[in-house]
Amino acid sequence: MTVGSLFTGIGGIDLAAEWAGMKIIWQCEIDPFCQKVLRKHWPEVKLYDDIRKINKSNTVCPDVIVGGFPCQPYSIAGKRRGKEDDRDLWPEMFRVVKELRPTWVVGENVAGFINLGLDRTISDLESEGYETQTFIIPACAVNAPHRRDRTFIVAHSGRQLRKRGVQRGTDEMEVRKGNAYKSQRSSEVCRYFITNSKRKRLQRSQWIQKSIQFTHDTEKIGRQWESEPDVGRVANGVPNRVDRLRALGNAVVPQQIYPIMKAISLIEEQLAGELNV
């Protein structure tokens, strides 16, 4: 599976995607320090410096689009102006999704996003034929030394669109026709992500609980948490300490989102097997 990464930061989500067997084909990050980190670790991957430059005429359509769209409008550390904040870039991410039409979309934001932006995001995605599920996963659930609750929105487009001839790159009218209904397959996929579809309360799914047992063990997919000062998470005296602090503050713990990326990979493998039967 291929992945296009928006608001990439230092690549926490991208790293988790690679652990899940996916391939990063492009990234988008505006911060100069984060760009240096990305170029070091993904030197062969195309790097855009502005999401506004991404469109279907110059960008390869991936299977999955991931993005931790800016959290300042929703963070308790800010003024929490939500969509009224000029840093609210969900509309740009949604534009890219509409133009490229990936099979999967994974969005990430702070816990406060639930009260200020979640309804709009879900409504936007569902208006384009995606079925969505939302999860809150704390970093401490994957043995990180801090809580750091994060909201993850997982959206799937459904296979019926392609079965009826609506492919990526078709004209807008065809896409709208294809999105006029919700596919049975998409519903089945989303049910895979929840423990009980009748409950409206956000909850972890069974696959997350199973993943914790064997997939995101830090001994298997990454180094153990290294010693750092209790405050700051970056050792004193290292170069670019302020930049590193800011980058870490905005980053996603890879182990935190890995179960989601792995589940997507497993679902696609299962669906591919069914198609080959």
Phi, psi of 104 (to 5 degrees): -125, 145
In the sheet with 2-6, reading across from the earlier edge strand, the strands are 46-48, 23-28, 2-6, 64-67, 104-110, 149-156, 131-138
pLDDT along the chain (277 residues), means of 10: 96 97 97 94 97 96 94 51 64 96 95 84 95 90 81 82 44 44 47 45 41 42 44 48 70 90 93 71
**pTM as predicted:** 0.72
Coil vs helix vs strand at 5:
strand
The CATH number, out of the four listed (3.40.190.10, 3.40.50.720, 3.30.499.10, 3.40.50.150), of the domain defined by the range 2-276? 3.40.50.150
Pairing of strands 104-110, 131-138: unpaired
- d(CA 95, CA 101) in angstroms, rounded, equals 10
pLDDT of 209 reads 44
pLDDT of 242 reads 72
pLDDT of 84 reads 52
Structure tokens that stand for 271 in this block: 């669906």
- d(CA 32, CA 34) in angstroms, rounded, equals 6
Structure tokens that stand for 60 in this block: 């390869």
Coil vs helix vs strand at 216:
coil
First CA to last CA across the chain, in angstroms?
20
Catalytic residue (choose from 28, 34, 71, 190): 71
- d(CA 93, CA 48) in angstroms, rounded, equals 14
pLDDT of 88 reads 77
Annotated active-site residue 71? The verdict is: yes
pLDDT of 240 reads 66
